[in-house]
Amino acid sequence: MGQVQQTSKRSLFTVLLVGGIIVLSFVSGSLWQRVKQLETSGGVTGGQNSASPLSIDNLKAYAKDLKLNTKDFNKCLDESSKKGTVEEQIKEGAEKGVTGTPGFFLNGHLIAGALPFEIFKDLIDYELATGLDLQVGYPEKIQGYFDQGYIKAEKIEVNTSGHAKGPENAKVVLVEYSDFECPYCVRAYPTVKQILETYPNDVKVVYRQFPLVSLHPNAQKAAEASECAGDQGKFWEYHDKLFEISS
């Protein structure tokens, strides 16, 4: 009798073990399929989202729309010819204190975030009239911008070379570190245009690449694509296209 009970227990244990293995295999398979789906959709860091306006196919289509030499453009993009350029600018921005996008430097003063045009105007007007590196004696409104962290008092020397709009000898140089897939950068795009329209003789805008690759799976290739377009003299046309299709 005791032997029969032991045999029954072993049989029950075997059934439970096999059942557990089957369930575990099913769960593992489901998880694997889910990960693959996320990778395909861009939901996993480093995966391109083929449905995105910034997918590789779309980036190439925009080059065709802008009448670029698509053979040269596609080769530049497929071979990641501009990857080093983009990564160099990311490193440069990080070393200067940029932690998110958009990040601006107004004559060397760091401005973090997509601030309203009115705040940029106040700061530019004061810079043109007096200068923002006095450290003391600011009007209450300007002091408030410093106190709230909109702009840093410390003046940093930044790279002002590269893709630029505005007069070469502008009194104010606004260096923008940006990401084509960042919604806040999309929000800042019309603000920057308004700044250039308002100060055609006094402000120059310099664009620097800062794709947040850990958050935006298509941003790196979009940045590279804009640099590839720049090789054919159409950086700004391509830049505008990428921001306008995301607006």
- Is the residue at 143 inside a domain? yes
- Is the residue at 78 inside a domain? yes
- Is the residue at 35 inside a domain? yes
34 and 68 co-located in one domain: no
178 and 74 co-located in one domain: yes
Question: What is the C-alpha to C-alpha distance for residues 105 and 160, in angstroms, rounded to an integer?
Answer: 10
Question: What is the C-alpha to C-alpha distance for residues 10 and 18, in angstroms, rounded to an integer?
Answer: 12
4 and 68 co-located in one domain: no
67 and 4 co-located in one domain: no
25 and 71 co-located in one domain: no
Note the pLDDT of residue 102: 98
**Residue 145 structure tokens:** 């911008």
Q: Let me know if 212 is exposed, middle or buried by CB neighbors in 10 A (0-12, 13-18, 19+).
A: middle
Q: Let me know if 195 is exposed, middle or buried by CB neighbors in 10 A (0-12, 13-18, 19+).
A: buried
204 and 119 co-located in one domain: yes
- Is the residue at 202 inside a domain? yes
pLDDT per residue as tens digits for the range 39-48:
333 333 446 7
24 and 68 co-located in one domain: no
204 and 135 co-located in one domain: yes
Average pLDDT score over the chain: 85
The answer on pLDDT for 37 being more than 70 is: no
116 and 203 co-located in one domain: yes
63 and 20 co-located in one domain: no
Over range 191-218, report the average pLDDT. Answer: 97
Question: What is the C-alpha to C-alpha distance for residues 228 and 80, in angstroms, rounded to an integer?
Answer: 9
Question: Containing domain of residue 193, as a range?
Answer: 56-246
- Is the residue at 48 inside a domain? no
At 153, which CATH number? 3.40.30.10
- Is the residue at 51 inside a domain? no
> Amino acid identity of 228?
C
Q: Total domain count for the chain?
A: 2
7 and 91 co-located in one domain: no
- Is the residue at 50 inside a domain? no
Question: What is the C-alpha to C-alpha distance for residues 171 and 157, in angstroms, rounded to an integer?
Answer: 15
Chain centroid, CA 97 distance in Å? 15
Q: 228 versus 17: which is more confidently predicted?
A: 228
155 and 228 co-located in one domain: yes
Q: Let me know if 105 is exposed, middle or buried by CB neighbors in 10 A (0-12, 13-18, 19+).
A: buried
Please, are residues 185 and 114 in contact by the beta-carbon 8 Å criterion? yes
Note the pLDDT of residue 10: 53
Least confident stretch, 9-23, 25-39, 153-167: 25-39
